[in-house]
Amino acid sequence: MPDKVGVPAALLLAFALLALPFAIAKANRIVPGVPHGFLGALPPGTGTALLVALIALAGLGALRLPPAWRLAGALAGLAGLLLAVGLAPRHLAAPSNPYARVSPGSGFWTSLAAFALLATDALTRLSPTPALRLGLLLTVCAAIAALLGTGYFDGLSVMREYAVRRETFAQEALRHLALAFGSMGIAVALGVPFALVAWRVQAVRAPALAVLNVVQTVPSIALFGLLIAPLGWIALHVPGAAAIGVRGIGAAPALVALVLYSLLPVVANTLAGLAAVPDAARDAATGIGMTRRQRLVGVELPLALPVILAGIRIVLVQNIGLATVAALIGGGGFGVFVFQGLGQNATDLVLLGALPTVALAFASAIVLDAATDVATIARKGNAP
């Protein structure tokens, strides 16, 4: 029987593999490239065998089979695509030209998205436990790390860009992590207590949410720019401010802006979580003699935790993406490579910044989704 999700994905895969360019070969990193289809991008024989296997896996995804089979087929398809794109530079790049570059084409990216869709659909139908999701994430990360460690992808142009920027990449990665996770931590440290106050004092709630909603509507680059002048003034006139890194450009305005963007999801979800606590749980806590503080810490916050974690997930994924824009004001991060690549018309340099950003956001979402599910299961177990 055909599957309503699998059939469109299989058709998309067939179109991508048969009609779209799988790899782009360039004489150097800047000049326009020559597109090659799947069979033209790979060695004869190997390309045919891989194409047949991938089409067969696409056909498997189009059938209404057990979710475990569909997941295995999708993961095998993803592995086959990675195997193929790693072989392309060996076939297309002439050894006599050290400047030759080979990049994945639209056929590769479209096929990757289609197999990822099949894998996601199969996982949703399996309803995996948090432990299984984390285990799959670790397995995929370990497999990719192993391929990167063996140098299998070194022929791809994005890896050549990495090779000449290895030290810079490590520095910008740490800055990106500091901006994304640091802003999230500060937002949680400020937002959750503020939400508790707003929960107790209703007069504060509506004005606070209104102000945070206004902040959320300001475009990120505009907010970064608006913070340059006040932070620059603080750096000049407040003793010790410049010594701790406060200045008009750099990480300080980026961090402040990310914290401001993060407050609305944290505050709103904390309030929503507290509102969702059953009255029976509050009554039971009061009935056994708990004080208001004991009831908050021991009953209300644990029961509200799944909704609070959902807000933190939104914040972290949002900030991982927004931290890329911070490079425009000297904040560093993966955005440095994105904007350098745009300025130099070097697509592979853009990918050097974009791919780790996407991967980090994806992995963070899975981890926090698992944490939310664990908190939800615990809440159901503690519910009266």
Domain ranges of the chain: 6-159, 166-382
H or E stretch including 104?
strand 101-104
Tokens representing 35 are 């597109």
Strand ranges of the sheet holding 101-104, from the earlier edge strand across to the other edge: 34-36, 23-26, 101-104
Do residues 108 and 22 lie in contact, with contact meaning Cβ atoms separated by under 8 Å?
yes
pLDDT of res. 269 = 92
Q: What is the pLDDT along the chain (384 residues), one digit of tens a residue?
A: 777 888 898 899 999 999 999 999 887 777 778 899 999 989 888 889 999 999 999 888 888 888 888 889 999 999 999 999 989 988 887 666 677 788 899 999 999 999 999 998 888 888 888 888 888 889 888 988 888 888 888 888 888 889 888 889 999 999 999 999 999 999 999 999 999 888 888 888 888 888 888 888 877 777 777 777 677 767 666 666 666 566 666 677 888 888 888 888 999 999 988 888 887 877 787 788 777 888 887 888 888 888 899 999 999 999 998 888 888 877 788 988 998 888 887 788 889 999 999 999 999 999 998 888 888 777 665 555
Residues contacting residue 235 through CB under 8 Å, at least 6 positions apart: 241, 242, 246, 247, 248
101 bridge partner residues? 26
pLDDT of res. 128 = 83
Give the C-alpha separation, 293 to 4, whole Å: 51
Do residues 40 and 105 lie in contact, with contact meaning Cβ atoms separated by under 8 Å?
no
Give the C-alpha separation, 304 to 296, whole Å: 10
* Burial class of 274 by CB neighbour count within 10 A (0 to 12, 13 to 18, 19+): buried
The CATH T-level fold of domain 166-382 is: MetI-like fold (1.10.3720)
Question: pTM for the complete prediction?
Answer: 0.85
pLDDT of res. 248 = 62
pLDDT of res. 274 = 86
pLDDT of res. 213 = 86
